[in-house]
Amino acid sequence: MKARSDELQIFVCVIECGSISAAAEQVGQTPSAVSRTLSRLESKLDTTLINRTTRRMDLTEEGKYFFEQAKLILDQMDQLEERLSSRQQTPSGRLRINAASPFMLHAIVPYIAEFRGLYPDIQLELNSNDLIIDLLEQSTDIAIRIGTLADSTLHARSLGCSPLRILASPAYLERHGTPRSVAELSEHTLLGFTQTESLNHWPLRHPHGDRWQIQPGISASSGETLRHLVLEGQGIACLSHFMTIDDIRAGRLIPILSEFNSGYRQPINAVYYRNSQLALRIQCFLDFIQGKLADYADPGFEG
């Protein structure tokens, strides 16, 4: 026989309440009924979960493991019920989204019409900021962040990842030639970021590792500014695939040194306050945009 969810609930309640009598009062049963449920559960599992005496009870090692897993299962069941219930509701209200300018322009704005068609009662407020913001101070529901997240009090949901490409315009390569090795980059004008030093470590394999630190000839604080500089033939840059895929397909930008690319992909996460209940409008947007970002993961794209 298999354990039932009501048996898991009573077991977890006993542990959290600290006694059978307290748990019995919590679930509206008699102590003897709760005790029989525990015994039945142990019989089904063919193991002892709790060592019980007249004065105290202690979890066995098996009981500790089962307690942790039972809580996870019950939490997942609660989330499933909430999700099914929310499907019957109509998402509405103001949704404030913050993202760096490149992501906002290339990965959100193109899909706004479709999102609005699906959820016309959600009022969107889109804000761009290339720096990390305080969600509460900026009255933001969701912030999209690119790259590795630092530990924080925020909850994060992965939306996918995006490859990085080393890119130049056809005009630049015609004037200056195409570098055939990582070392030859030193002979070219390299475009990099003014902030976040890690962004100037390009994912290129070389004899000493798989990250190549550059010294930018021109620096900018925004990836979108760097994109325009590359399009204008001002140099070579390392940019995210989500913001350059259309340029590559149209031939405006050409990936170079692809054989040396280490394959690093930038994580894309949505962050929001851990202690806030995930509103339906937030959940709808995250599900929607995650589906769109699957294209930017681009596992089969060859630069």
Q: How many CB atoms lie within 10 A of CB 128?
A: 17
- Whole-number pLDDT of residue 204: 96
Exposure string of 9-41, with b = 16+ CB inside 10 Å and e = fewer, is: bbbbbbbebeebeebbeeeebeeeebbebbeeb
What residues contact 133, with CB distance under 8 A and at least 6 apart?
98, 140, 143
Contact 253, 230 (CB under 8 A): yes
Per-residue DSSP letter, 260:
G
- As a whole number of angstroms, the distance between CA 187 and CA 167 comes to 15
Q: Backbone phi, then psi, for 279, in 5-degree steps?
A: -65, 155
What angle, rounded to 10 degrees, do the helices at 20-27 and 5-17 form?
Answer: 130
- β-sheet bridge partners, residue 269: 145, 158
d(CA 53, CA 37): 17
d(CA 229, CA 241): 16
* DSSP label at residue 148: P
pLDDT recorded at residue 88: 55
Asked whether 203 and 264 are in contact (CB, 8 A), the reply is: yes
Model pTM score: 0.65
**What was the pLDDT predicted at 4?**
85
Q: Which residues of the chain have pLDDT under 70?
A: 1, 54, 82-88, 130-139, 150-154, 274-278, 295-303
| Single-letter code of the amino acid located at 44 | K
Residues β-bridged to residue 258: none
Collapsing DSSP states into helix, strand and coil, what is residue 144?
strand
Return the H-helix or E-strand segment holding 285: helix 280-297
Per-residue exposure over 169-198, b if at least 16 CB sit within 10 Å of its own CB, e if not: beebbeeeeebeebeebeebbbbbbeeeee
What are residue 91's phi and psi, to 5 degrees? -65, 135
Residue corresponding to tokens 């969701």: 142
Strand pairing partners for 191? 218, 237
pLDDT at residue number 107: 92
CB 42 within 8 A of CB 49: yes
E strand or H helix that includes residue 49: none
Torsion of CA 177, 182, 187, 189, to 10 degrees: 80
Phi/psi of residue 52, each to 5°? -110, 135
**Per-residue H/E/C for 123-142:** EEEEEECCCCCCCCCCCCCE
